Amino acid sequence: MEKEHNKNEDIERAIIAAGNNANHPVEESSWKSHWQLLLSIQILFVMLTLEFGFDYVPPFPGNLIIFFIAYLLSGYNVLYLAWRKAIRFDFFNEFFLMSIATLGAFAIGEYSEGVAVMAFYSIGEWFQDAAVNRAKRSIKALLDIRPDEVSVVRNGTTVVVNPKEVQIGEVIRVKPGEKVALDGKLISEKAAFNTAALTGESKPDSKAKGEVVYAGMINLNTVSEIKVNSLFTDSKLSRILEMVQDATARKSQTQLFISRFAKIYTPIVFALAVAVCFVPYFFVDPYIFNVWFYRALVFLVISCPCALVVSIPLGYFGGIGLASRNGILFKGSNFLDVMTKIDTVVMDKTGTLTEGVFKVQEIVTKDIEESYLIKLAAAIESQSTHPIGLAVVEHAGKETAELSVAEVEEISGHGLKGKIDGKEVLAGNTKLMKKFNIDYPAEVDAIVYTIVVVAVDKKYKGYITIADKIKEDAKQAIKELHKLNIKTVMLSGDKQSVVDEVAKQLAIDSAYGDLLPEGKVEKVQALKNEGRRIAFVGDGVNDAPVVALADAGIAMGGLGSDATIETADIVIQNDQPSKIVTAIKAGKITRNIVWQNIILAMVVKIIVLALGAGGVATLWEAVIADVGVALLAILNAVRIQKMKL
């Protein structure tokens, strides 16, 4: 029902914007598509000039015919929509209100005012429609930068085809300055890309052979070849576009409230207008019907809720667009509201606060050269696929090629044993040393980071510490969250000592390690039971259940798994923790603008309603106030799109 209702509203807006009929909606507002309205205004201007400039009014029924032609030119689409709604027994809407008010003005001989009200109302609708279309287009334009053609290498030659025709496994060639059309892995040695469309960051991102490149990135410096790993419709950019487009359909609580409010408010003001017309009959002497009927018409015009109904969703479109420009995707305007109420941010450690890439931090040796120790460790670890071993191999580089490795045995939960150039080498944790009765310094047990202890021919020779590097902006992100009086919590599957060390460096309020996925769920549920409004930030598959449980689930979209990104309510494209704060700020800016519009519209309407009932305001003041408030609210909402975070 909600979807059908929205569809009907969209059709009706299209009719207003086009100044035509339901079968001829015009997507873009233009002068030519509104020629009827412009002609109506010209006729009104000429008639007012004759009346007030030359003191001439065409005799009846000539003046009625001229004004009624002008009235139909500017308002026949509104009358048509009022009729469509009336046959569905929907009388309490802006189209019906305007039709009654303007036809009423004609009934009492106020022809010029009837035309003016309809013309100015239609102008307001025109500008409202243009602003909404512009907001929607700007949101899509932020990300819809997919090229229409791509160079693909087939049978040794380069052919230009539509990206939709490229299959997984094919190689595409991207020249400097061109946009990457499809996701894939770089097979050239290296290249630099501008990732602003995806992440909001203009800083070049250098990629090496084998690294992933996404559609939407711009090649900066050299011809690059990329092996495609997803179809055009399945690319990260295509999925982002779908998320953003879907976001405009998911209404915030404020939008839903205003929609419900308008349905109650409009019948009330309609009843009050009837009361303004007829109740004075019992209290005023002499009672002049035309005077009180005119005041009731003023009441109807100013009561039109269009300023609220249009400017508020426009504000949320602006908020979604603002966040998108900063590399943050809200999957619905409702989540902009949710982020303003968050009081606790729970974060995963690896991939969220840390880079998710293990690096060698320190090498400590005993009776052996440092370079030889790392060569030995890397040579034996090259036989393993464990991330810790890969970090050691990467650090050593190609120097291990000269060593002969044999009889490698993996001891589960301990490490590796093997022979290198005839020597027995052990590389693993301290449990491996204990298993083979090898003595090592007691201080090794106190090291909080992951370590690879190395022994040669039953003798301890040193250790290598491996750690996941903390992201550059993680500390600043936590600091900014604390400034907003938001509690920070870190959850991780890593050992508690490592988690405590990271929490200490970042000044995180609470940190819990040694957690399985269900343990993370339990911790978040416990916080929710305390009445806290929680945003959870994660990137792994095991984070998806917690992301779904939180009030606002935030996924790191660069490193994040597909499951987590699909489950999340908000996606941070460049994996920066500082964007959590940016998302909160975008929500608060949007909320402030929306409430400014609500207060402005209601205050002006109440004042003019009172003046109209008292006979001070005329239909001219009523329509100018109504359209003026709507335009001010629209300009205020559009302002969001120009703001910087």
| Total residues found in the chain within this entry | 645
Within 248-344, where are the H helices?
253-278, 289-302, 306-325, 333-340
| pLDDT band, residue 403 (cuts 50/70/90) | confident
348 is catalytic: yes
Map out the domains of the chain as residue ranges: 167-231, 328-354+470-585, 356-469
Q: What pLDDT was estimated at residue 2?
A: 41
pLDDT over 50 (residue 20):
no
Structure-token pair, residue 71: 């009235």
Stretch 73-95: mean pLDDT = 82
Q: What pLDDT was estimated at residue 136?
A: 59
Which residues 6+ apart lie within 8 Å of 288 measured at CB? Answer: none
pLDDT over 50 (residue 4):
no
Query: In this structure, which CATH number among 3.30.365.10, 2.70.150.10, 3.40.50.1580, 3.40.50.300 belongs to the domain 167-231?
Result: 2.70.150.10
Element (H, E) at 284: none
Stretch 106-130: mean pLDDT = 78
pLDDT over 70 (residue 590):
yes
Q: What pLDDT was estimated at residue 582?
A: 93
- What's the pTM? 0.65
Structure-token pair, residue 21: 């009929």
Say which residue the tokens 């018409």 belong to: 297
Stretch 317-322: mean pLDDT = 81
| pLDDT band, residue 198 (cuts 50/70/90) | low
Within 162-219, where are the H helices?
196-199
- Are 180 and 193 within 8 A, CB to CB? yes
Over residues 327-359, the pLDDT tens digits come to: 888 887 788 889 999 999 999 887 788 876 778
Stretch 539-552: mean pLDDT = 76
- 101 vs 526: which has the higher pLDDT: 526
- 523 vs 545: which has the higher pLDDT: 523
- 10 vs 414: which has the higher pLDDT: 414
Q: What pLDDT was estimated at residue 122?
A: 80
Over residues 249-301, the pLDDT tens digits come to: 555 565 566 666 667 777 887 888 888 889 988 888 888 888 888 888 887 77
Q: Among 133-137, 467-471, 611-615, where is mean pLDDT lowest?
A: 133-137
User: If DSSP states are collapsed to H, E and C, what string results for 546-603?
Assistant: HHHHCCEEEEECCCCCHHHHHHCCEEECCCCCHHHHHHHHHHHHHHHHHHHHHHHHHH
DSSP classification of residue 643: -
- 420 vs 631: which has the higher pLDDT: 420
| Average per-residue pLDDT for the chain | 80
Rg (Cα) of the chain, in Å, rounded? Answer: 34
Query: In this structure, which CATH number among 3.10.520.10, 3.40.50.1000, 3.40.50.720, 3.40.50.1100 belongs to the domain 328-354+470-585?
Result: 3.40.50.1000
Q: What pLDDT was estimated at residue 488?
A: 96
Residue type at position 104: G
| pLDDT band, residue 397 (cuts 50/70/90) | confident
Q: What are phi and psi of 70, to 5 degrees?
A: -60, -40
Distance CA 400, CA 537 (A): 39
Q: What pLDDT was estimated at residue 135?
A: 57
- 162 vs 221: which has the higher pLDDT: 162
Structure-token pair, residue 230: 């997803």
Query: In this structure, which CATH number among 3.30.70.920, 3.40.1110.10, 3.20.20.70, 3.40.50.2300 belongs to the domain 356-469?
Result: 3.40.1110.10
Catalytic residue selected from 337, 348, 569, 575: 348
Over residues 480-505, the pLDDT tens digits come to: 999 999 999 999 877 788 888 889 99
- Are 34 and 277 within 8 A, CB to CB? no
| pLDDT band, residue 478 (cuts 50/70/90) | very high
| pLDDT band, residue 444 (cuts 50/70/90) | confident
How many Å from the N-terminal Cα to the C-terminal Cα in the chain?
37
Q: What pLDDT was estimated at residue 25?
A: 38
Residue type at position 167: Q
Q: What pLDDT was estimated at residue 468?
A: 78
Element (H, E) at 252: none
Q: Of 158, 157, 317, which is closest to residue 247 (Cα–Cα)?
A: 317
Q: Among 207-216, 456-465, 528-537, where is mean pLDDT lowest?
A: 207-216
Buried b (16+ CB within 10 A) or exposed e, 21-40: eeeebbeebeeebbebbeeb
pLDDT over 50 (residue 32):
yes
Q: What pLDDT was estimated at residue 272?
A: 84
Over residues 614-628, the pLDDT tens digits come to: 778 777 777 777 777
Query: How many Cβ atoms from other residues are within 10 Å of residue 231's Cβ?
Result: 15
Over residues 598-609, the pLDDT tens digits come to: 888 888 878 887
